[in-house]
């Protein structure tokens, strides 16, 4: 069985068992029967001292013009907000509609399980009109991608054996994989998976990714989103790549802020789970770049920078660095 499929199946079953568990909390004695002396000045004074009055004008509708949730699960953000980014990395547009709720490490894979944020559905026509006002080609690419995700009856189903063969062909290359599930007439992203070499392309270690996702619930991405790109060329390439399954050159950025161009190959597999009557899409995003962008020495230095570690006097490789102060709140006490 495919390494990704096997791990996802076991995680889904484990997740379902956790969801089914009930927490039983016994009631405290007199929790609802303690007498309250109405009109008692002492009680009233205590109550007043504990009250904090906050006055704020809340608009009738909360502005949400930069975030869109589509029935077809196409991820897009009109503005690039890197306020909570990891170093110089971009934030994956999936973070607009999903948050990381679980992280697992299986062999050389780091698996982020995602939970969908409850937002209203935006009609696809809204984005199509917005794209058309900027770039006709982008609008057409979005339209084709949207139609593709709506017409699931036209998908050519794959066998797991095909995924196994493909994973074997890319096992020495950096890649990320998005796992999507089609249910109740809609697509949703269930997981994003990185192999170790893909983390190296980002310029980060597994420990850095795990800490960042736990702290922010956001997902990093290696794509460079140019804030001055009014034509939104990066999204045009993403939409075309998903529909046509083609290879294209893309601008990358790593943790250190170094920008470079590399080839991105996209390949999707549609697997039907007959027992559960669910359709899965596994989208592999494979990077073909120069080896210098996967330097392990850079990763070690970045980890020192991220966790604010300082060199120790030790000369052994195993203990050449000592964590004197982590940004996550732990300190080394002498």
Whether 302 is in a domain gets the answer yes
Three-class DSSP category at 258: coil
Residues 305 and 287 in one domain: no
Whether 34 is in a domain gets the answer no
Residues 166 and 204 in one domain: yes
Whether 166 is in a domain gets the answer yes
Residue 121 tokens read as 């559905």
Residues 183 and 332 in one domain: no
Residues 180 and 307 in one domain: no
Residues 313 and 287 in one domain: no
Q: How many domains is the chain built from?
A: 2
Gap between the Cα atoms of 207 and 192, Å rounded: 16
Residues 75 and 198 in one domain: yes
Residues 237 and 183 in one domain: yes
Residues 288 and 303 in one domain: no
Our measurement of the distance from residue 17's CA atom to the centroid of its chain's CA atoms, rounded to an integer in Å, reads: 23
Residues 216 and 305 in one domain: no
Stated pTM of the model: 0.76
Residues 283 and 310 in one domain: no
Three-class DSSP category at 22: coil
312 CB-side CA count, 13 A? 14
Whether 181 is in a domain gets the answer yes
Domain containing residue 308: 295-334
Tens-level pLDDT at each residue, the chain (334 residues): 676 776 666 666 665 665 555 555 555 555 555 555 555 555 555 554 555 544 444 333 334 456 889 999 999 877 666 778 999 999 999 999 999 999 999 989 999 999 999 999 999 999 999 999 988 999 999 999 999 999 988 889 999 999 999 999 999 999 999 999 998 889 999 999 999 999 999 999 999 999 999 999 999 999 998 888 876 888 999 999 999 998 999 999 999 999 999 999 999 999 998 888 889 999 999 999 999 999 999 999 999 999 986 554 444 333 333 333 444 544 444 4
| Structural element, H or E, at residue 96 | none
Residues 120 and 255 in one domain: yes
Q: From start to end of the chain, where are the E strands?
A: 90-91, 98-106, 109-116, 175-183, 186-195, 220-221, 247-253, 259-273, 278-288, 310-311, 321-322
Residues 98 and 129 in one domain: yes
């Amino acid at each position: 069985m495919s390494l990704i499929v096997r791990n996802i199946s076991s995680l889904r079953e484990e997740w379902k068992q956790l969801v089914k568990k009930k927490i039983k909390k016994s009631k405290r004695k007199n929790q609802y029967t303690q007498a309250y002396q109405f009109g008692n000045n002492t009680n009233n004074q205590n109550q007043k001292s504990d009250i904090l009055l906050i006055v704020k004008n809340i608009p009738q509708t909360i502005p949400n013009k930069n975030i869109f949730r589509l029935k077809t699960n196409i991820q897009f953000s009109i503005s690039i907000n890197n306020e909570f980014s990891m170093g110089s990395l971009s934030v994956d547009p999936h973070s607009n509609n999903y948050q990381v709720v679980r992280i697992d490490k299986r062999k050389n894979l780091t698996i982020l399980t995602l939970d969908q944020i409850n937002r209203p559905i935006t009609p696809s026509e809204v984005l199509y009109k917005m794209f058309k006002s900027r770039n006709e080609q982008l609008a057409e690419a979005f339209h084709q991608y949207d139609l593709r995700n709506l017409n699931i009856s036209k998908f050519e189903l794959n066998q797991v054996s095909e995924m196994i063969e493909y994973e074997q062909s890319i096992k020495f290359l950096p890649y990320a994989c998005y796992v999507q599930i089609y249910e109740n007439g809609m697509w949703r992203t269930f997981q994003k998976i990185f192999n170790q070499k893909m983390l190296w392309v980002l310029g980060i270690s597994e420990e850095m990714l795990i800490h960042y996702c736990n702290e922010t619930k956001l997902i990093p991405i290696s794509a460079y989103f140019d804030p001055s790109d009014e034509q939104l060329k990066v999204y045009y390439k993403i939409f075309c790549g998903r529909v046509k399954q083609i290879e294209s050159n893309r601008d990358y950025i790593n943790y250190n802020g170094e920008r470079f161009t590399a080839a991105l190959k996209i390949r999707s597999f549609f697997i039907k789970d007959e027992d559960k009557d669910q359709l899965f899409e596994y989208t592999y995003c494979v990077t073909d770049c120069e080896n210098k962008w996967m330097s392990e020495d850079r990763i070690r230095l970045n980890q020192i920078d991220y966790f604010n570690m300082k060199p120790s006097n030790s000369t052994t490789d195993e203990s050449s660095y000592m964590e004197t102060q982590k940004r996550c709140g732990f300190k080394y006490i002498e």
